[in-house]
């Protein structure tokens, strides 16, 4: 049973799109919602039907749902097979949920602007003028990783004696599934593996296919520190 919020005159809507910034936006929304003790909603919009989405999109959606639930969000909303301009979809959800603050990521905004063929910010200001908009810079959170890692690919962790090994084909021995970000300029599978464990998102170091400890790498901790400043 979800906790009853103390304030109902405020509510937060976080809009996420596919990519590594999604959970950062959700964390930002959670912080604001916790401070205000108000409802929190997570929204993603896709013109593709859910049944036709590829594995990477399905993975992101599954993880976002887990993160939203772990942080006590009131609901995760997927608007799939959506052909309307993105701003109209966001505005509809904002009105239905009586949202007072909307959080958008810079990357998501740019992609949505292309889909909507216009400025999502100007459209939202017209559609829901009573709502505060927060545009979160992607570079603030991902500056460390940008230009360092290749695009993430679906991967899995299996036990290998005392360590864990990253593989790219699902087997019965898989312990965790997630996204592997390979370091640029290396011929080996060295980089970062991102996955959910005990309702928390972890980024663990991978060196030549192997993970020694299921602990967050320093990069994640530095980014977290920067967010809190």
Find the CATH number of the domain harbouring 92: 3.40.50.620
Same domain, 127 and 189: no
> What pTM does this model have?
0.58
Residue 1 lies in a domain: no
Q: What percent of the chain has pLDDT over 90?
A: 32
Same domain for 126 and 167, yes or no, is no
Residues 97 and 130 in one domain: yes
Question: What confidence tens digit (pLDDT) does each residue in 110-122 have?
Answer: 455 444 445 677 7
For residue 159, is it within any domain?
yes
Does residue 197 share a domain with residue 121? no
Residues 42 and 124 in one domain: yes
Instruction: Tell me whether residue 4 is in a domain.
Output: no
Query: Does any domain span residue 7?
Result: no
Give how many domains the chain has, as a whole number. Answer: 2
Residues 169 and 63 in one domain: no
Instruction: Give the pLDDT confidence score for residue 77 in this predicted structure.
Output: 94
Residue 159 has a pLDDT of 94
Residue ending a domain, among 109, 142, 175, is: 142
Q: Domain for residue 83, yes or no?
A: yes
Q: Are residue 198 and residue 224 in the same domain, yes or no?
A: yes
Domain boundary among 92, 107, 142: 142
Higher-pLDDT residue of 224 and 3 is: 3
Same domain membership, residue 135 and residue 53: yes
Indicate if the pLDDT at residue 144 is higher than 70.
Answer: no
pLDDT tens per residue across span 158-200? 999 889 999 999 999 999 999 898 887 777 899 888 888 876 7
Is 182 part of any domain? yes
Judge whether residue 46 has pLDDT over 70.
yes
The pLDDT > 70 percentage for the chain reads 78
Question: Is the per-residue pLDDT at 30 higher than 80?
Answer: yes
Q: Which of 88, 119, 142 is the last residue of a domain?
A: 142
HEC-encoded secondary structure of the chain = CCCCCCCCCCCEEEECCCCCCHHHHHHHHHHHHHHHCCCEEEEEECCCCHHHCCHHHHHHHHHHHHHHHHCCCCEEEEECCCCCCHHHHHHHHHHHCCCCEEEEEHHHHHHHHHHHCCCHHHHHHHHCCCCEEEEECHHHHHCCCCCCECCCEEEEEEEECCEEEEECCCCCCEEEEEEEEEECCCCCCCEEEEEEECCEEEEEEEECCEECCCCCCHHHHHHHHHHHC
Regarding whether 160 and 94 lie in a shared domain, the answer is no
What residue numbers bound the domain in which 189 lies?
153-228
Q: Are residues 29 and 93 in the same domain?
A: yes
pLDDT at 20: 66
The answer to whether residue 59 sits within a structural domain is yes
Residue-level pLDDT at 217: 63
Residues 165 and 194 reside in one and the same domain = yes
pLDDT of residue 196: 85
Q: Is residue 131 part of a domain?
A: yes
Average pLDDT, the chain: 79
Domain shared by 87 and 108, yes or no: yes
């Amino acid at each position: 049973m979800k906790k009853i919020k103390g304030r109902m005159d405020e509510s937060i809507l976080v809009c996420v799109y596919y990519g590594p910034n999604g959970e950062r936006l959700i964390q930002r929304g959670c912080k604001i919602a916790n401070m205000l003790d108000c409802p929190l909603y997570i929204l993603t919009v896709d013109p593709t039907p859910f049944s036709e989405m590829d594995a990477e999109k399905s993975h992101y959606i599954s993880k976002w749902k887990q993160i939203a639930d772990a942080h006590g969000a009131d609901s995760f909303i997927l608007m799939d097979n959506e052909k309307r301009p993105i701003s109209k979809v966001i505005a509809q959800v904002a009105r239905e949920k009586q949202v007072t603050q909307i959080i958008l990521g810079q990357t998501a905004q740019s992609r949505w602007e292309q889909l909507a063929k216009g400025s999502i910010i100007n459209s939202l200001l017209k559609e829901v003028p009573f709502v505060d908009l927060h545009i979160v810079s992607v570079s603030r959170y991902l500056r460390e990783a940008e230009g360092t890692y290749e695009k993430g690919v679906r991967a899995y962790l299996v036990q290998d004696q005392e360590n864990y090994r990253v593989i790219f084909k699902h087997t019965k021995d898989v312990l965790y599934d997630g996204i592997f970000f390979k370091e640029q300029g290396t011929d080996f599978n060295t980089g970062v593996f991102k996955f959910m464990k005990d309702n928390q998102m972890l980024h663990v170091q991978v060196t030549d296919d192997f993970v020694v400890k299921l602990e967050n790498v320093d990069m994640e901790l530095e980014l977290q520190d920067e967010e809190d400043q």
